């Protein structure tokens, strides 16, 4: 999902996964259907709306107590002073993921974003959790 910038990129991204050997050609159609169905959810449509600026898998770097720290959210989209941070999870729910999103939101606030929303997307179950 991190290689998809908008809904129109789905098929290209899936074809690239097949080409790279990450998924088998036989799995391609099932994944394509699942992905297109996921994009019917309003939250997911927003995350891939081309009116937002997209930052995929980029480090947020800051200095804390004389040490350089970094974190890498899966997807951050921005528009003006608003930011949405999304992390994709493929396993079971875990409260540590909530803290991870809260930390990303705190860092985005330090950068200057004022209106920040965070989400966990449990892709396997297509469950979205607003943090």
Q: How far apart are CA 97 and CA 120, in angstroms?
A: 8
Q: Please tell me the pTM assigned to this model.
A: 0.84
pLDDT at 2 over 90: no
Give, in order, the Cα–Cα distances in Å from 8 to each of 40, 113, 115: 13, 28, 27
* Residue 106: pLDDT band with limits 50, 70, 90: very high
């Amino acid at each position: 999902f991190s290689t998809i910038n908008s809904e129109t990129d789905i098929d290209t991204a899936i074809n690239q996964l097949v080409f790279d050997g990450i998924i088998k050609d036989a799995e391609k159609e099932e994944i394509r259907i699942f992905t297109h169905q996921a994009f019917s959810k309003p939250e997911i449509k927003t995350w891939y709306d081309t009116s937002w600026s997209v930052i995929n898998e980029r480090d947020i770097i800051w200095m804390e107590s004389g040490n350089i720290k970094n974190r890498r959210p899966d997807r951050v989209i921005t528009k003006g002073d608003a930011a949405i941070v999304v992390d994709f999870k493929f396993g079971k729910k875990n409260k540590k993921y909530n803290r991870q999103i809260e930390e990303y939101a705190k860092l985005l606030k330090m950068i200057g974003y004022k209106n920040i929303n965070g989400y966990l997307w449990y892709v396997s179950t297509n469950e979205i959790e607003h943090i």
